[in-house]
Structure 1
């Protein structure tokens, strides 16, 4: 889809919103120091921080939204009524209206989703369910279980007792947050708050955030002895705002969370061959829907996850999706070299991004140019952190704005990377998991409290502990803390096709040991593209080079030459 088509789609999206939004746009005055609530009650915290840091609000919160009881003045955002509330949406966030078979509106999908039949959900999607079906809520929930991508789904069902809910994608990569007191639902923390931050008793901002004098001068006081970042178990930097965990929805009337998956799902073991067939079919469906309908970039590397997706992709010759890789440190130079080889397998050009002064260099002429980028990342993510090296050194600024950014995240489920290498006792499993789920850990008392949270979570639903404890901790808990970071990389809209319950469920039906040994990955790649499977992987070569005491770049070239000779034999 080209620029003209994308503009036409934006115009269609705009029709969903109130026509007179110009009068609702607001240019507020800058403040200095910590925020005073006096006289600024109509502004969200994100607006106040943008003013104080001289950031553009619409750019800072691109691809985000707020659902609020009050109508707000958010610069550039569209507004419409939804579920007796006001939905404020970035004009660049894709929106699809979900309707019944009769055409009755049932809800809105914000972001990018692909349904179980391989349809990209865009503009308006008509379901086969009647608005008068007494089981409408259950049927719609069963439908959304199998929608992959990165999205929020807001429901307002016309049932006798109104059903109003917010779901998100299978691993929660859209990152919904909500305040039960104010009844605001948003994509990130600073769009959820009108008041100042009520400091968490369990976490403080990351050191890089606190080290920024401008931002730290705006913050309330945090206990310096608390762990930095890693907001786990649905907690955020604010004591009263919750992050919606994966596999749950939040009721928009009571603002209580409810788990809806796995429920009574069947995880009976199946053969690797059959499981690979199911997963490869689903990957092909999803990649076809994304690559044949959208513009943007597909980030490939020297690893396994993006390789599976590329092998499942349709012919990209006429697609609006470009293959992309970058090098910003030594190991990513190996990734880039392997990416060149797998791009050649599918006969597509690769945009390889390296600064003119080498992988340690920058695309910014002066280091101070990174300050607005750092501030924007921090504000758009709710102070998760200031952005990674790729963001701060201006790589994103050299890429086309808008469109999607396809990534290989979450496919570690196929290789069980988050499982321990050896079976352990229950207590050993719990200790191992607490260290692995990316939760900030402090002193002994803090660890004990978070261990109790982990134990409570582990007993909150039914599953086979020995077979799937580490799978569910990966899906529910490990992926959750960093998900708000996706809102920071907002030059494009990030989408990970691996956020898919059919992929997760099917992989979990294969024993973890077979996945860890990459035997299951081998089955998937041999079904998708055996030639691509034969291309060397970057990190195993780097590991071998350290063991052998040789240069990794030279060893990788040797492996690539061996692969080419075998392919041409």
Structure 2
């Protein structure tokens, strides 16, 4: 019995419902109640009732593995029996060919594959699907309670109270258990040895000349639209809109396929998200799609008793695998407005186009590790001390030493891609068990294209507007909430709000006409410092 089964039985929770979008891999031919068993060589894969799955076969129709979750390659949604013409089980370079194929696979997924005696686990680029392995029992799965079938051994590295109650994170691939680890999405896991091996990135250099930016932008648009088209054609979907850049970019990439999205929505959970709703309403009007506002006050969501609140909290924590606080949309109960069993399309990896984790362009500061470890939030900022730094520094250095030279040129981006996402969306999405949350921008090729843009230029956030302008200048022209100011009235459909964004739009058009030559002028000397050397400051 897994720890998840024991917790569900004790708390009278429905295991099959809570783990309907999760998976488990166990050694031998075993059965796990509430999950569907799939034979996998010397192992067995166990899949939740609602988890999409597909079979991978080589060019001769021979079994290669399973895809669990939602994945889209160049040919379309991976479903049914999916034939990979580029793979031949007799090819001695089989796994190298497979790694090359994976570059263009986007979604939130885990792949179990093998040839001969070798059996491996691969995940989406940032392990958004959640992937934890217990080397003691040779088990792999999406969340800690599901993986463990033994008593939890408290991890001496982590401060559970600081993480679960005060905003810290299980970072640098740690879990609450001393032995179970989170898998790095840039590695594959050998099921026999329980050893991770890096297979990505393989490029020698990410950044390209400015003359190629137009082609980079167009490939991002083409790829993103293809992925969203495939997902919206096959699943019921929902798409959040906000007042910022990321959700707008996903909506723009959707193009005409946004008409197939079942729910375009904005959650209002606090004062500031009212601005999101106002901007989102203008975007939905421009895109000619219905827009739902899910507010915690006016109108209020369906009433929830204290008993139901506690049940929601326990369900979230059980599916997540830790006693962490619920996200705002669950606390404020607005999640009830979302229809169940939908695929929720979010941005996340689009953050790379804004270099959100590059807090300074001063290259010499990229070698100072104190503020970098702090930005992984092993504890909240006010609790970060020299002792915390020294505790996590060996793990941080060990991870950083695995980066190839091309990634070491962009170490802060890779800290974001491999470590931060793993500890956030890779951790929390499994707790949101009533829908399947994912980013259609989550492919290694889309990451490479994002990193092809100069890092200093990305820090200005201008690449997002560059892409939006190429897709839909009218959508690009709608003010962002920070442009509009505090008066929500200026964002009504009847107001001349175009004046608010006129200077920005003039700038975007000038860059477009000049083929982005402006990007050549950005270098570290022009960018403000936002990375505080915390330990030195204290």
Q: TM-score range by the shorter chain?
A: 0.7 to 0.9
The separation in 2 between residues aligned to 1:320 and 1:525, in whole angstroms, is 20
**Matches of residues 78-477 of structure 1 in structure 2 within 5 Å?**
78-115=36-73, 117-128=74-85, 129-157=87-115, 159=116, 162-206=117-161, 229-271=168-210, 272-316=213-257, 319=260, 321-355=262-296, 357-358=297-298, 362-383=301-322, 385-423=324-362, 425-426=364-365, 429-440=368-379, 443-464=385-406, 467-477=409-419
The separation in 2 between residues aligned to 1:559 and 1:437, in whole angstroms, is 44
**Matches of residues 56-95 of structure 1 in structure 2 within 5 Å?**
56-70=14-28, 74-95=32-53
Shift of 1:195: 1.1
The separation in 2 between residues aligned to 1:311 and 1:347, in whole angstroms, is 12
Tell me what 2:527 maps to.
Answer: none
The separation in 2 between residues aligned to 1:527 and 1:393, in whole angstroms, is 38
Tell me what 1:495 maps to.
Answer: 438
The separation in 1 between residues aligned to 2:24 and 2:148, in whole angstroms, is 10
Shift of 1:91: 1.3
TM-score in terms of structure 1 length: 0.82
1:203 and 1:228 in contact (8 A); partners too: no
Q: What is the SS of the residue equivalent to 1:402?
A: coil
Residues 508 and 209 of structure 1, relative CA distance in 2, 3 Å threshold: closer
Residues 230 and 318 of structure 1, relative CA distance in 2, 3 Å threshold: closer
Residue 47 (str. 1) matches residue 2 (str. 2): no
TM-score in terms of structure 2 length: 0.86
Residue 480 (str. 1) matches residue 435 (str. 2): no
The separation in 1 between residues aligned to 2:283 and 2:493, in whole angstroms, is 16
Shift of 1:524: 0.8
The separation in 2 between residues aligned to 1:351 and 1:377, in whole angstroms, is 24
Residues 235 and 209 of structure 1, relative CA distance in 2, 3 Å threshold: closer
Shift of 1:118: 5.0
Residue 562 (str. 1) matches residue 517 (str. 2): no
More helix by share: 2
Shift of 1:491: 0.9
Which structure 2 residue ranges, 5 or more long, are not aligned?
503-538
Residues 556 and 432 of structure 1, relative CA distance in 2, 3 Å threshold: farther
1:449-474: per-residue Cα shift (whole Å, max 9, x none)? 31232223222222247741111111
Q: What is the SS of the residue equivalent to 2:496?
A: helix
Shift of 1:564: 8.4
Q: What is the SS of the residue equivalent to 2:4?
A: helix
Shift of 1:362: 4.7
1:401-459: per-residue Cα shift (whole Å, max 9, x none)? 11311111121100111112441524764223212223337542231131232223222
Tell me what 1:219 maps to.
Answer: none
Q: What is the SS of the residue equivalent to 2:410?
A: helix
Answer with 271-280 or 118-127: which moved more. 271-280
Shift of 1:510: 1.3
Residues 302 and 82 of structure 1, relative CA distance in 2, 3 Å threshold: same
The separation in 2 between residues aligned to 1:419 and 1:354, in whole angstroms, is 33
Residues 254 and 465 of structure 1, relative CA distance in 2, 3 Å threshold: closer
The separation in 2 between residues aligned to 1:564 and 1:511, in whole angstroms, is 30
Tell me what 1:19 maps to.
Answer: none
1:302 and 1:335 in contact (8 A); partners too: yes
Which structure 1 residue ranges, 5 or more long, are not aligned?
1-42, 211-226, 546-550
1:294 and 1:321 in contact (8 A); partners too: no
Aligned length: 495
The separation in 1 between residues aligned to 2:372 and 2:363, in whole angstroms, is 11
Residues 451 and 517 of structure 1, relative CA distance in 2, 3 Å threshold: same
1:284 and 1:312 in contact (8 A); partners too: yes
Residues 364 and 118 of structure 1, relative CA distance in 2, 3 Å threshold: farther
Residues 130 and 250 of structure 1, relative CA distance in 2, 3 Å threshold: same
Root-mean-square deviation over aligned CA pairs: 2.5
